[in-house]
Chain A
Amino acid sequence: MAQSRDEIEAAVRDVLIDALGVDEEDVVETATLKGDLGAESIDYLDIVFRLEKKFTTAEKPFKIAQGELFPENLMTDPSLVENGKITAKGIAMLKEKVPHVALGAFESDPQVTKLAGLFTVKSLCDFVQTKLGK
């Protein structure tokens, strides 16, 4: 049976509470994983593992490929980042690889340091909802 948005949000909230050790009231839709919830690099892998476990059912596995939820190789590819800003090619890559992330105003001032601010609780829920619907 398909999960409702409320059920997805509750499950994602549980994952973030366990992975990041944060309080339930801090996990609001607009909270950023890094800035508001204090996620560090290894936490992203922890979140991926926990989401997979949470949403895998006997009928259907929920497997998140490397780079599917959080972008990979962005910082090490000079064609994607130049002078601290993400290039047009990098923006195109983000749109293609991580469509669950709303770029919004970031697109007009794509400073790498602001990239982490795009990953919010809402973007995680959107990702899960889209993936479950496929």
Chain B
Amino acid sequence: MRWMWIDRVITFEPKHRLVAVKNVSLAEEHLHQHFAAEPGLASAPVMPNSLILEGMAQTAGILVGSVHDFREKVVLAKVTSATFERDVLPGETIRYDATIERMDEMGASTIGVVDRFSFVDNAWAPVGRIELMFSHLDQNRAGTEFPEENFVFGENFATLLEGAGLRKAGVKKD
């Protein structure tokens, strides 16, 4: 199964903006490795920034895919910039707020703002900013052909998309 790094889509403005959240839990195995205790050092579980980036890529990728009703194979082509200013800890909620900056037949550029909610502080605080570029795989400049089936927005995304009302349950779109 594909690793999903967002739990729920909470806001959707067609062709413009999509907001998703993820709850970070100590039940997630990767937190125990990042960073595990070492002799003389206690463990320090934090959500890896690389996976926060993947969460934004999934959020923005769904937004870009939704523009053409998930017919295009949307793939992350470039991390234009990614800056982080705060760690996300277990028990906190990450909010991914993605907007499309520019889009054409070939692909799209997106701007993403990441915040986290701390129940200790009872407040949202900025985590980082991530700018990405997505490519429509079938429109690639090299003219390479890919399978007909849309492996990007396959069954693994169905729950998320249907939960957000972006795709009707039981309707398969290739």
Contact = CB atoms under 8 A, between A and B. Distances in A.
B143 interface: yes
A53 B102 CA distance: 9
A88 interface: no
B7 to A, nearest CB: 29
A66 interface: yes
B133 interface: yes
Nearest to A40: B78
Contacts of A66: 104-106
B contact face: mostly helix, strand, loop, or mixed: strand
Contacts of B140: 41
Contact of A44 (B102, B105, B141): B141
Interface range on chain B (Cβ under 8 Å from partner)? 10 to 19
A49 B109 contact: yes
Given A49-B102, A53-B102, A66-B104, A41 B142 contact: yes
A42 interface: yes
Nearest to A72: B141
A110 B77 CA distance: 30
Given A66-B106, A72-B141, A49 B78 contact: no
Interface of B: 77-78, 80, 101-102, 104-107, 109, 133, 135, 140-143
